[in-house]
Structure 1
């Protein structure tokens, strides 16, 4: 059951108006409240990457952990990079691991280094909800990065709800509407409409505005 675009538009417009203007660019967030969800069961482990139709104007911080040509190509793009040697040197350095977890929105890892990343960075990434993404050492890193510039996590954390970014306050309403639909349709297809209780949209520092379900 798709959302009604006119209803979404009204909610987005209201959400943009609510709350004080800040000195930083606020994100626009979608909140999907769920019901009859067993947080300790498989349902509670729901986690999907959604590629938004329109990339938010505030780009995420992307870190690439790789070696060889993949590392060189990532450096050419001006991305934050970590080589195999630099990663190995972080072993036991909790401060360095926390820095990666705090500063990187997406951590793209050459598949041959995933086990090393798990053992060295895993303890710092897990509590922060960061999940390393495995990519092929032969990937076209430019294409991969462009995809993750418009990607968001749709996932259940510790409460029966899914909250994720669907844009920034300076984006056109039509773009935010498309992004909301992309996230909502993914959730509905995986969880089912019967378990969706309410849907809201809000700015980072604003108040939630309900998007009525049809």
Structure 2
């Protein structure tokens, strides 16, 4: 059984059109989510569980919530982003403050979708904040001290974190309702293909795929007619 990316794209695009038809309009910008239900997949085997960072073609949202732990060499290029409130910038002094204010760090962990960090700070981040970030699958994306951290943040805006552990379902926010249908479809296809390629039986391990807005009903991506044997 095989499904091409083009077949998947067309099926996803139809599901997005249906999602827009039946999802009530809200007075806020809803996220768009994709859910992949698995079958014949034994999660009692540790090798079948995984965490992954998946980079999509387009940013997840126009206004994302990204926190950056930055060492001194990375601070200058980040000041403008912080002033525009595009990121929450946490320097070494800020880290020291958070080490003694875990309640504040918990709020930061809840409010931010993804974290980025200078690689030189990863040890201290793991030591003091790992127990807060790791269970949420939010350990920072490390950036080498000589690497372009602004470029890394741009990539983080297109990155989703997924975890397959107890439930045979993989889900993630892959965009927002104000994105063009074609961009949403490309993000969903990239996400599904990445997950499919991680499964030992590929498509045969996928029971179904649905897309939905934050508060809208799930819309199944109809692939049956596209399957080849």
Length-normalised TM-score, structure 2 = 0.86
- Residue 43 of structure 2 is matched in structure 1 by 39
Relative distance call for 1:44 and 1:21 in structure 2 (3 A) is farther
CA distance in 2, matches of 1:126, 1:71: 25
Q: CA deviation at 1:85?
A: 2.6
Query: Is 1:22 matched with 2:26?
Result: yes
State which drifts further: 67-76 or 191-200: 67-76
The root-mean-square deviation of aligned C-alpha atoms, in Å, is 1.8
- Residue 79 of structure 2 is matched in structure 1 by 75
State which drifts further: 36-45 or 119-128: 36-45
- The residue correspondences of 1:1-214 to structure 2 (distance < 5 A) are 1-2=3-4, 4=7, 5-78=9-82, 79-191=87-199, 192-213=202-223, 214=227
Relative distance call for 1:210 and 1:43 in structure 2 (3 A) is farther
Specify every segment of 5 or more residues in structure 1 that has no aligned partner in the other structure, as ranges: none
CA distance in 2, matches of 1:71, 1:44: 39
Relative distance call for 1:89 and 1:57 in structure 2 (3 A) is closer
> Does the 8 A contact of 2:137 with 2:163 survive in 1?
no
Specify every segment of 5 or more residues in structure 2 that has no aligned partner in the other structure, as ranges: none
CA distance in 2, matches of 1:174, 1:59: 20
Cα deviation code 1:164-189 (max 9, x no counterpart): 12221121111111111101110111
